[in-house]
Amino acid sequence: MKFSELKLNPVLVKALEQQQLIEPTQIQEKCIPLIHEGKDVVGQSGTGSGKTLAFGLPLLEKIQPRAGIQALIITPTRELCVQVATVLQDFAKPMHLNVVQVYGGVSLEPQAQGLRRSEIVVGTPGRILDHLNRRNMDFTPLKYLVLDEADKMFEMGFQEDVEEIMRYLPKTRQTLLFSATISEPVYQVMQRHLRQPVTIKTNIYVDKSLLHQGYYNVPIRDKFSLLAHLIKHKTTGLSIVFCATRDEVSIVAYNLKKNGIDAMAIHGGLTQNRRLNALEALKNQNISVLVATDVAARGLDIKNVTHVYNYDVPKTSEEYIHRIGRTARAGAEGDAVTLLADRDHDNFRRVLHDRTLKIEELEIPSFEKVMFVRRSDEQEERSHGRGFGHSGPRNGGHGGGGFRSSAPRSGGGYRSRSLDRTSGYQGRSEGGGSSESRSERGSGGYGSSSSSGRRPSNPRGGYSGRR
């Protein structure tokens, strides 16, 4: 099927052709006709499936120029807000429509000015409420509401904020919800706020025949050294390294750079400019590695990723699948590699509950043991007088080296706790974000994985949980 067969406005079809988009993805093909009909829709699909155009194209056809705010799209993170708004702007311009993006960490006033002349608002929950409290938004003409990446949004603690935003919206509207999984909070919102929704579920947009999945059983002291070796000697293109907490993201990115690897961190505690700079650097291939939490990377469609590294194992098979779906796209091969230490076995066993996953144990190569410092770029800046001071490293051990340092408490509210008697590290971070950065609290791994020395039973042949 082609976009021209979906009865789209010829102006939009031409704009699609200019971007060499001729055939819709599965989620687009199924959702666009239903949205045309005015139905409430629940779309369940993964990153890279084309959700933005699935809801964006039919909404752009329905919205009238210079008739006030008619569509509100709520996203969990600033990066996804920017990405969705950027995609929509490309198609809104030939339709003479304006899109404004509202997120925290930047001035309110330019956004308020944009709200006065826009028909479509893309925003994060906290900043939307900021503007509502300042009466910068008038939702009287609103007809369409989209909740994007709803499961992650509610996992981050935004369900109450979303419910509060809905109180400002007209009761008669079309509501669209997109989510990788249908969690209990998502189901509750569906029950309360959607009218006889039609659910569309599609497969993650990844060719599993081209995706090689493997794991290494590695002592925790060697985990970082092995990661650095694999990136330097086994990775030919762009890669994403997933960590469980903000602290670990910053520390791993810092140590990769200290070992000569072009890496940048992205998590909710960084400034908006730093987060966007990291994404732009990866897209422009100015760096080769993005180190991220699941929350920060959720929904971001980053092209040409050849390797995904799970430095920390996600809690569920759904989150694992969402991670690995970022590679092996568009006919290209990709690798998904998990680094499995003692503390990760419980999480890995839960991942393997999905019997369709074929993850083979890989033979550990010979690799150089490198220094691993429990330090981050933020601490480095503070130690050079650009912050609030620092505490130096102490002898200890986690990862590939032999140093640990406890992150300082700063006047900005940032706090980390980096030592744990049993597992070697327990990540925790608070503060440091804007009003919408409510949490990336333990989004996988440390607090939940086993550190008692118990060995999980073998859930499938090939994984013994051995150490």
Q: Using alpha carbons, select from 138, 135, 189, 194 the residue that is nearest to residue 162.
A: 189
Q: Using alpha carbons, select from 118, 127, 17, 139 the residue that is nearest to residue 76.
A: 127
The amino acid sitting at 150 is: A
Task: Give CA angle at 280 (261, 93), nearest 5°.
Answer: 170
What band does 269 get if pLDDT is binned at 50, 70 and 90? confident
User: Both 197 and 248 in a single domain?
Assistant: no
Task: Give CA angle at 85 (81, 86), nearest 5°.
Answer: 115
Would you state the pLDDT for residue 207? Answer: 58
User: Both 222 and 193 in a single domain?
Assistant: no
**Residues 218, 221, 224, 230, CA torsion sign:** negative
Write out the two tokens for 400: 């590939």
In sequence order, the 6+-apart residues with CB closer than 8 A to the CB of 432 are: 246, 269, 412, 413, 414
Please check whether residue 268 is in contact with residue 437, taking contact to mean a CB–CB distance below 8 angstroms: yes
- pLDDT > 50? residue 264: yes
User: Both 21 and 132 in a single domain?
Assistant: yes
Distance in angstroms (rounded) separating the CA atoms of residues 384 and 388: 10
Q: Which residues pair with 99 in a beta bridge?
A: 120
User: Both 240 and 283 in a single domain?
Assistant: yes
Domain boundary among 201, 226, 251: 201
In sequence order, the 6+-apart residues with CB closer than 8 A to the CB of 384 are: none
- pLDDT > 70? residue 104: yes
- pLDDT > 50? residue 197: yes
Please check whether residue 332 is in contact with residue 80, taking contact to mean a CB–CB distance below 8 angstroms: no
- pLDDT > 80? residue 14: yes
Virtual CA dihedral for 154, 157, 158, 159, nearest 10 degrees? 60
Q: At what angle do helices 159-166 and 125-133 cross, to 10 degrees?
A: 40
Q: At 124, which helix (H) or strand (E)? A: none
Would you state the pLDDT for residue 381? Answer: 62
pLDDT in tens, 358-372: 899 999 999 999 989
The alpha helices in 238-341, defined as continuous H runs, are: 246-258, 272-283, 294-297, 317-324
- pLDDT > 70? residue 436: no
The count of C-alpha atoms lying within 13 angstroms of the C-alpha of 111, restricted to the half-sphere facing its C-beta, is 23
Residue 427 has a CB neighbour count (10 Å cut-off) of: 27
Pick from 183-187, 321-325, 333-337: least confident: 321-325
Distance in angstroms (rounded) separating the CA atoms of residues 328 and 308: 10
- pLDDT > 50? residue 31: yes
What band does 293 get if pLDDT is binned at 50, 70 and 90? confident
- pLDDT > 60? residue 319: yes
Please check whether residue 105 is in contact with residue 272, taking contact to mean a CB–CB distance below 8 angstroms: yes
Look at residue 382 and tell me if it is in a domain: yes
Would you state the pLDDT for residue 225? Answer: 96
Pick from 216-225, 247-256, 268-277: least confident: 268-277
- pLDDT > 70? residue 459: no
The amino acid sitting at 237 is: G
User: Both 171 and 215 in a single domain?
Assistant: no
Would you state the pLDDT for residue 445? Answer: 36
Phi and psi at residue 319, to the nearest 5°: -70, -35
User: Both 160 and 237 in a single domain?
Assistant: no
Cα dist from 54 to 94, 177, 298, whole Å: 18, 11, 18
Dmax over CA atoms of the chain, in Å, equals 66
pLDDT in tens, 112-158: 999 999 999 999 999 999 999 999 999 999 999 999 999 889 988 99
Collapsed DSSP state (helix, strand, coil) of residue 263: strand
What band does 226 get if pLDDT is binned at 50, 70 and 90? very high
Distance in angstroms (rounded) separating the CA atoms of residues 159 and 144: 19
Tally the domains of the chain: 2
Distance in angstroms (rounded) separating the CA atoms of residues 202 and 208: 15
User: Both 52 and 162 in a single domain?
Assistant: yes
Please check whether residue 160 is in contact with residue 185, taking contact to mean a CB–CB distance below 8 angstroms: no
Look at residue 158 and tell me if it is in a domain: yes
Distance in angstroms (rounded) separating the CA atoms of residues 436 and 439: 9
Write out the two tokens for 23: 């055939």
Look at residue 435 and tell me if it is in a domain: no
Q: Which of 274-283, 383-392, 428-437, 446-455 has the highest mean pLDDT?
A: 274-283
- pLDDT > 70? residue 345: yes
User: Both 221 and 116 in a single domain?
Assistant: no
Enclosing domain of residue 235: 208-430
Q: At what angle do helices 26-36 and 51-62 cross, to 10 degrees?
A: 20
User: Both 353 and 302 in a single domain?
Assistant: yes
Would you state the pLDDT for residue 152? Answer: 86
Virtual CA dihedral for 407, 408, 409, 410, nearest 10 degrees? -110
User: Both 108 and 248 in a single domain?
Assistant: no
Distance in angstroms (rounded) separating the CA atoms of residues 89 and 100: 9
Phi and psi at residue 146, to the nearest 5°: -125, 125
What band does 435 get if pLDDT is binned at 50, 70 and 90? very low
User: Both 175 and 232 in a single domain?
Assistant: no
Domain boundary among 184, 201, 218: 201
